[in-house]
């Protein structure tokens, strides 16, 4: 079946840790700090690719992780940053935050890119922590964690023209003779199971034509292939409704026409008002008198009608010329605007993102930022510990702990680290 929505998890790479290293030189017993910085973790970037027509590639693999940056090295060598991870999606993919259901983006344009999870910055090497009073910092920063997100991808194809009609009327045949697309064509209903796109080049106009699976009565309620693809006709600028009058009479051909109208309006009222050209197909085998009768009936309803034979290409050029004329005048397909712009998480935001819980005898600090700080502190080293103490004060954690009721002698827990708080 057509694979057009999926939930995936993405994780950007972590930053590499900064290095703790000291220069080793002949005759210099204690060289200065020369620990290099860690490399940046890879970003996860979504990119629109015309190679993709479905979300099929996400069918089995649902978790995508960019590589982490490498650790810093001695001699002030920085760790290598990781490559970004690109995930390809078809044009018309809506990206939602799966947790909040918020629309993040509508990726519509070829090669459009969206940075969806930012790689962690590399940690600073110990050479950054040298001060006049601290000649030999025995600590460095750990790399920041890469962002993680759960995303819901939903494809709503974007095309200029949608081919609609009953199954087996010749929609795919029409697409195959006006574009380079090679849809499956066969003499039975529901040959086409997923929308197929093709590009029509006519004169100076070029437009995208979407061949849809056949519609039947009840499609709007899910009968046949139902809703699954009906949503893909939403984002078209106009329709070509294909009719098959062969082996048919006036009443049933008109019914064929009317049923599609009913399904369109049931699915979404305004679809019936979308510009539409009617193509009566298979005139090479249909009864000429019947065809003429249907044509005048539909023209009386105000439709523009073409009598074609997709197989022998009869009148197909005329139909396409008219379609191109419509297309050059019709407004663009609507692209959804996200409610708010995507925000890259900054370190600032991360710093303020903590909670303090009293669990048992501990004041437990829950915070990615502070857990990272803890990982980078060498508690056996006076300078390193002193640096940590000042950081707690400066970044407002000390005040927050006091506000939470912390008193002299209480125990604090951050990540795996537990320590007793001693006022001095």
Ligand X SMILES: Nc1nc2c(ncn2[C@@H]2O[C@H](COP(=O)(O)OP(=O)(O)OP(=O)(O)O)[C@@H](O)[C@H]2O)c(=O)[nH]1
- Interacting residues toward Mg ion by CB under 5 A: 171-172, 191-192
**CB of 175: closest distance to Mg ion in angstroms?**
8
Q: What CA–CA distance (Å, rounded) separates 8 from 65?
A: 11
Q: Which is nearer to ligand X, 40 or 171 (CB)?
A: 171
Q: What CA–CA distance (Å, rounded) separates 423 from 417?
A: 18
From 32-40, 126-134, 150-158, 280-288, span contacting ligand X (CB under 6 A): 280-288
Residue 236 contacts ligand X per CB under 6 A? no
Contact pattern for ligand X over residues 332 through 361, marking x by CB under 6 A: ------------------------------
Residue 65 contacts ligand X per CB under 6 A? no
Main-chain phi, psi angles of 74, to 5 degrees: -70, 180
Q: Kindly state the tokens that stand for 349.
A: 């935001």
Main-chain phi, psi angles of 117, to 5 degrees: -145, 125
Q: Could you tell me the maximum CA-CA distance found in the chain, to the nearest angstrom?
A: 107
Cα 294 to its chain centre, rounded Å, is 45
Q: Using the rule CB under 6 A, which residue among 309, 367, 376, 384 binds ligand X?
A: 309
**CB of 323: closest distance to ligand X in angstroms?**
17
Cα radius of gyration (the chain): 32
Q: Using the rule CB under 6 A, which residue among 49, 54, 56, 191 binds ligand X?
A: 191
Residue 315 contacts ligand X per CB under 6 A? no
Q: Using the rule CB under 6 A, which residue among 54, 77, 88, 167 binds ligand X?
A: 167
**CB of 163: closest distance to ligand X in angstroms?**
8
Burial 402-422 (b: 16+ CB within 10 A, else e): eeeebeeebebbbbebeeebe
Length of the chain as a residue count: 424
Contact pattern for ligand X over residues 199 through 218, marking x by CB under 6 A: --------------xx----
Q: Which is nearer to ligand X, 112 or 191 (CB)?
A: 191
Q: What CA–CA distance (Å, rounded) separates 54 from 355?
A: 42
Question: Do 180 and 251 meet the contact criterion of CB atoms below 8 Å apart?
Answer: no
Which of Mg ion, ligand X, none interacts with 282 (beta carbon under 5 to 8 A by kind)? ligand X
> How many binding residues for ligand X (CB under 6 A)?
23
Q: Which is nearer to ligand X, 189 or 218 (CB)?
A: 189
Residues 6+ apart with CB under 8 A from 386: none
**CB of 240: closest distance to Mg ion in angstroms?**
13
Beta strands 276-280; 205-211: pairing state = unpaired
From 72-80, 125-133, 180-188, 364-372, span contacting ligand X (CB under 6 A): 180-188
**CB of 82: closest distance to ligand X in angstroms?**
45
Residue 1 contacts ligand X per CB under 6 A? no
Q: What CA–CA distance (Å, rounded) separates 171 from 210?
A: 9
Residue 293 contacts ligand X per CB under 6 A? no
Residue 141 contacts ligand X per CB under 6 A? no
From 20-28, 232-240, 289-297, 306-314, span contacting ligand X (CB under 6 A): 306-314
At 374, which helix (H) or strand (E)?
A: helix 368-376
Q: Using the rule CB under 6 A, which residue among 135, 190, 301, 405 binds ligand X?
A: 190
From 55-63, 151-159, 163-171, 289-297, span contacting ligand X (CB under 6 A): 163-171
Distance between first and last Cα of the chain: 68
**CB of 222: closest distance to ligand X in angstroms?**
17
DSSP letters spanning 126-163: GGGG--SS-SS----PPPPPPPEEEEEEEE---EEEEE
Burial of 346 (0-12, 13-18, 19+ CB in 10 A): exposed
- Residues of this chain that bind ligand X (CB under 6 A): 167-173, 185-187, 189-192, 213-214, 281-282, 284-285, 309-311
């Amino acid at each position: 079946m057509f694979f057009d929505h999926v939930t995936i998890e993405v994780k950007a790479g972590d930053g590499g840790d900064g290095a703790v290293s000291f220069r080793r030189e002949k005759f210099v017993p204690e060289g200065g700090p020369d620990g290099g910085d860690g490399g940046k973790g890879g970003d996860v970037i979504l990119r629109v690719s015309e190679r993709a027509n479905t979300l099929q590639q996400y069918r089995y693999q649902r978790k995508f992780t960019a590589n982490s940056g490498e650790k810093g090295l001695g001699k002030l060598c920085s760790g290598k940053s990781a490559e970004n991870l690109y995930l390809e999606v078809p044009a018309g993919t809506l990206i939602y935050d799966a947790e909040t259901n918020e629309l993040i983006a509508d990726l519509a344009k070829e090669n459009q890119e969206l940075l969806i999870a930012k790689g962690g910055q590399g940690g600073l090497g110990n050479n950054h922590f040298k001060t006049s009073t601290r000649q030999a910092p025995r600590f460095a920063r750990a790399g920041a964690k890469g962002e993680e997100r759960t995303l819901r991808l939903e494809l709503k194809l974007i095309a200029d023209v949608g081919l609609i009609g009953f199954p087996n009327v010749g929609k795919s045949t029409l697409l195959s003779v006006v574009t380079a697309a090679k849809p499956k064509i066969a003499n039975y209903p529901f040959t086409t199971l997923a929308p197929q796109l093709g590009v029509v080049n006519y004169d100076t106009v070029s437009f995208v034509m979407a061949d849809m699976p056949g519609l039947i009565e009840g499609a709007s309620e899910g009968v046949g292939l139902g809703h699954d693809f009906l949503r893909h006709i939403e984002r078209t600028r106009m329709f070509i409704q294909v009719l098959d009058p062969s082996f048919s009479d006036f009443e049933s051909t008109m019914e064929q026409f009317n049923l599609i109208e009913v399904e369109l309006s049931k699915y979404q009222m305004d679809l019936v008002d979308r510009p539409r050209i009617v193509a009566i197909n298979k005139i090479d085998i249909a009864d000429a008198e019947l065809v003429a009768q249907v044509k005048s009936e539909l023209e009386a309803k105000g439709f523009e009608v073409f009598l074609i034979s997709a197989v022998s290409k009869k009148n197909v050029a005329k139909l396409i010329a008219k379609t191109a004329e419509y297309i050059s005048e019709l407004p663009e397909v609507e692209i959804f605007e996200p409610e708010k712009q995507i925000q890259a998480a900054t370190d600032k935001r991360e710093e303020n993102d903590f909670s303090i819980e009293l669990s048992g005898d501990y004041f437990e600090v829950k915070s990615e930022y502070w857990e990272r700080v803890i990982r980078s502190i060498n508690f056996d080293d006076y300078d390193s510990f002193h640096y940590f103490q000042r950081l707690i004060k400066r970044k407002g954690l000390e005040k927050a702990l006091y506000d939470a009721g912390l008193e002299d002698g209480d125990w604090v827990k951050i990540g795996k680290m537990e320590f007793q708080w001693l006022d001095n």
